[in-house]
Amino acid sequence: MALPTWAAFIVLVTAVFLKVIVSRGHRRTYNLPPGPKPWPIIGNLNLLGVLPHRSIHKLSKRYGPLVHLQLGSLPVVIGSSVEMARFFLKTKDATFADRPRFAIAKYGAYDSSDIMWTQYGPYLREVRRICAAELLSAKRLESFEHIRGEEVRGMLRGLREASGHVVRLRGYLQMMTLGVISRMVLGKKYIQEEAAAEGGSPPVLTPAEFREMVDEFFVLHGVFNIGDFIPWLDWLDLQGYVRRMKRMNRKFHRFLDHVLDEHNRRRRLEGEDFVARDLVDVLLQLADDPNLEVQLSRDNVKAIIQDALLGGSDTSAVTIEWAISELIKNPKLLGKATEELDRVVGRERLVTERDLPALPYIEAILKETFRLHPVAPMLVPHLAREDARMDGYDIPAGTVAFINVWSIGRDPTLWDAPEEFRPERFIGSKIDVKGQDFELLPFGSGRRMCPGLSLGLKVTLLSIANLLHGFVWRLPDGMAVEELSMEEIFLLAVPRKNPLEAVAEPRLQSHLYMCD
């Protein structure tokens, strides 16, 4: 005999209630790391200011190098020391190899299928292998040296034409780095001014249109979307971030569809004579290979291309802008850099990549910029795949882990005068940026380390060296170096809050800036 509806409902509620009570009785008691007491519902979200890495730095000074936070319903730990970075990225690298499932990964990274946000497993290993072999191997990077040189020289020409006027350096840097990555990944520059469009055809996107897309991408990667931390509010999209993510994704869809369609047309036209010229060609060929261990969909291909384009362009531009800003603010250091360049390179030519090993002070400037202004101050978040234990504290599976490299770069037990820009600290130092020295981790370390390390170093070093060798840099008339603001803004890459505006006066012979 069937129970009445109301009776069935009471039985169901009672069963659920008893299950909760029983499960609580069997739930393991964890000894969590120290941290502030959470508020109901929001947890510790109220403690994250507009610059979360600085807010968390203050918390670590109070609670120690391993802090536990409750962000809504999401448990979070933050490591803020060399020892903690080594624990998460080396000792327990496999345990923390996953990523949290945030909205930006779903709506801004083709359902977490790019390198940054995908979960650790066969797909990620295959994609990293493809990029390492087809884009970032030592042989491939060497073959692209002429592209990096041409794009840097194009930037110098543009600055030479604007000599004597106040320029916003960021725009020149963004177009240069985008030019390098576009030609390496896509085979040509799809984003350019109408007058420069190849063959006289209109550009797919103007620089202004593309910048709007990229700026939105970096903004949305830096926001704290309330639905990620309080899931039962997700459907409301209270901040409107998910709507913006979907709109941004549609724009990238259209652009990348055009790129893929154009490459596929060439494949069809050339038939058996087709030879892959760039990463897009390689990915499309692999997507058609039924024997590939991990099959690639069209959206997978777009996710990988988007990752390569954006991850390799704006991050380098942000770093170079910080380096030039610090040197303008410290004229004596700027003088040391130009003295080294004049001694090693001379004033009869521009700097090439072959000069870089002989420029230790330029390398020290880059390392000091990485230390003081890490592009990703808390790295990309990791997710615990299983329970872990550190210094007597438990970190349960499902906990999100951040490594605050911004705090490590300001640790007075590691660095003398950590708030000061002192490139000399790296002269003769064995500390490198390749993921083995946990004092300096601009590219991360371990299984989720940024695969573009070698390319990033080549582009940033070559650019900084040529900007310093090719121009005398000064602030606009009437502005003292003490007035140069060094405020930052929290995005996926943390840039200057206000773009650097400066005057660049040529210091080499005019014909050098016109070289192709």
Residues 445, 407 contacting (CB under 8 angstroms): no
d(CA 382, CA 96): 6
Task: Please state, in angstroms and as integers, the Cα–Cα distance from residue 293 to each residue in 147, 279, 289, 304, following that order.
Answer: 33, 19, 9, 17
d(CA 172, CA 274): 35
d(CA 364, CA 9): 70
Of the candidates 284, 341, 307, 363, the residue with the CA atom closest to the CA atom of residue 470: 341
d(CA 380, CA 124): 15
d(CA 186, CA 308): 10
d(CA 86, CA 435): 10
> What is the DSSP code (8-state) at residue 284?
H
**Is the alpha carbon torsion for 491, 496, 501, 507 positive or negative?**
negative
Determine whether the annotation assigns residue 450 to a binding site: yes
DSSP lists the bridge partners of residue 388 as 395
d(CA 407, CA 409): 5
Residues 441, 432 contacting (CB under 8 angstroms): no
Q: Which residues are annotated as a binding site?
A: 450
Q: Which residues are annotated as a binding site for heme?
A: 450
